[in-house]
Amino acid sequence: MSPRPVKAVTFDLWDTIVHDDSDEPKRAAAGLPSKRIARRDLLHEFLNREAPIARECVELAYDVGDAAFNKVWHDQHFTWTIGERLRVILTGLKRDLAPDAFAELVRQHEEMELEYRPNPAPGVHEALRALHGRYKLGIVSDAIVSPGRCLRELLRGEGVLDLFDSFVFSDEAGYSKPHPGVFHIAAEQLGCAVEEIAHVGDREHNDIAGPHAVGARAILLTVVKDRGSESTKADAICRNYGDLLSIVEALGR
């Protein structure tokens, strides 16, 4: 049986549309700590306002909370919101914050990525505009710290938000990749069968095995990072965004 035509192309966000952690040199140049340290500093600062606490205790609790998050994310395909993660950490510390303070702590975590923004992947703007109008376009992305509302702002800042017809962020969908649910939601939003989607991403576990499990096609992107292209099971490999349109067209023949 010949494959269905490709009617829609979905994209991962991190290390696909934007270069994850390319904001860290910008933070360092401004005299700011890394995001990892800044998040722990924030929690320590907010807790210290109400009662003293050792920085080492906050660091340990935050590390444990991150480990629990990663376990749930990887094994259960679910991403806790940053508010849920902070609640877990506070419970471990046997501490709490006033509602207004907690809401502000969450907001500052969520919007940290907007202060110094990551760089776009080389060639992504041109590739998206080449695909736009020929295919429906969507985002299927896990929201690790920044929620969907902030990730939309990242895309808006890059001038590409309006090129997309669908957004499936894990904090809004209730699932994270490679759960089949995220790809079915994308297909519904894009108005096509899931088998008519070609998904573009950089991780074998999430972006190749995930779409393959629901009958979609998968393109491994190595423009930002090459995570195992020598052993990938992807339908195609995109090493240069300038080639993406022709790759998608070939998959649809």
Rounded CA separation 102/97 (Å): 6
What local confidence, expressed as pLDDT, does residue 151 receive?
98
- Residue 55, token pair as written in the block: 């920085």
| 79 and 179 within one domain | no
Q: Is 1 a member of any domain?
A: no
Q: What is the CATH number of the domain that holds 180?
A: 3.40.50.1000
Contacts of 199 (CB under 8 A, 6+ apart): 9, 10, 11, 12, 140, 183, 207, 210, 211, 216, 217, 218, 219
Number of Cβ within 10 Å of residue 104's Cβ equals 14
| 127 and 63 within one domain | no
Q: Is 92 a member of any domain?
A: yes
Radius of gyration of the chain (CA): 19
Q: Is 3 a member of any domain?
A: no
Q: What is the largest CA-CA distance in the chain?
A: 67
Q: Is 97 a member of any domain?
A: yes
Q: Can you point out the beta strands (E) in 93-252?
A: 136-141, 166-169, 197-201, 217-221, 236-238
Rounded CA separation 30/98 (Å): 31
Q: Domain end: 91, 115, 139, which one?
A: 115
List the chain pLDDT tens, one digit each, 253 residues.
567 899 999 999 999 999 999 999 999 999 999 999 999 999 999 999 999 999 999 999 999 999 999 999 999 999 999 999 999 999 999 999 999 999 999 999 999 999 999 999 999 999 999 999 999 999 999 999 999 999 999 999 999 999 999 999 999 999 999 999 999 999 999 999 999 999 999 999 999 999 999 999 999 999 999 999 999 999 999 999 999 999 999 998 8
Domain residues for 103? 24-115
Can you say how many angstroms the Cα of residue 115 is from the centroid of all Cα atoms in its chain?
17
Q: Is 90 a member of any domain?
A: yes
